[in-house]
Structures are given as C-alpha cells and as structure tokens.
Amino acid sequence: MKKKLLTFLVIIVFGSIFYVFYKGLEESSIYTPDIRVKKDIPVFKSKDFFSGESVESSNIFELDKMYLLNIWSSWCVPCRQEHPLLMGINSRTNINIIGMNYKDNSKNAKDFLKELGNPYKEIFIDSDGIIAIEWGAYGVPESFLIYNNKIIKKYIGPLNEELINEMKLLIK
C-alpha cells in the first residue's frame, strides 16, 4: 500500500511540474521584447565617429524628417548581412540613416565601412553601450524608425526585404 501511495504522489508532483512548465511555454508574450511605438527618443551626448567631436541628439534629429537609427558593429555578422539593404535604403528613399557604432574598435569599424560602403548620414559612437541601453536595444543590429523625435517602429535583428517593405508602407 505504501508503494502505491508513494508512486501516486511522485506522479502527481511530476505531473504538476510538467503542467506548470507547459503553461509557461504557451505564454510566449512573457519573452517578447516591447516595441514601444510612439515613444520619445532619448536625449544623449556622444562623439562623432569620424571627427571625434562632441554631438548632441538634438542636433542630429530634426522635426519633419524621417530617420532610421541603425545600431551596428564591425564584429557583428548580421550587421554585415543587412548592410547592402541599408545601402539600398540610402539610395532609394528619403530616409536619413543615422548609425550608432556599438562597442567597437574604431579602426575595425572604419575598415568595415571602407569595404562595404557608408550608408549613414551621420555616425556617433557608443563605446560602452549605455546609449543603446537608453534606446531599449537588446543587441546588434537593431534599428529604430523615427519621425518628429518619436520612435515609430523598432526592428530587432537584421533588416530584410520584408521589413524594408513594411518600412516603406509606414512612411507613406
């Protein structure tokens, strides 16, 4: 009798644990990052990528202009994959692409742009990653579509043709 009771209790305990984990897997929104549409862009100070001069966000982002802030690094493989798309956006749209060079070696970043081209209107440096955290970035690459100093859409991961088409629809 004790063996049957013990077996029954073990089955109940493991069944309960399994049920809790199973229900946790169904609730996928727990792990989905917040896109934060219509959030004001953070105010920050940084250094210009090429000159090293101090820049302020209020001098970068103007009202009534569409911007795409792209967080990138030379060591980031997906950044290399999305770079041709950024070059295409730069040549085919009226979106001003701003680059945030994230935790990167200056020489490697300049070599990256020399090799693949520079789609950015301006680039600023985020050597310690604090500015990216203020934007709510989780890593690289990430991009933010901005209009009137508000984030319209956040793109986590590398851009692709589908996201570019979505972006074009949002602009219209």
In the predicted model, is pLDDT for residue 23 greater than 80? Answer: no
Model confidence pTM above 0.75? yes
The helix/strand count (H/E) of the chain reads as 6, 8
User: What does the pLDDT read at residue 31?
Assistant: 46
pLDDT tens digits, one per residue of 52-66: 999 998 889 998 899
Higher pLDDT: 1 or 161? It is 161
Across residues 102-123, what is the average pLDDT?
96
The C-alpha R_g of the chain, in whole angstroms, comes to: 22
User: What does the pLDDT read at residue 152?
Assistant: 92
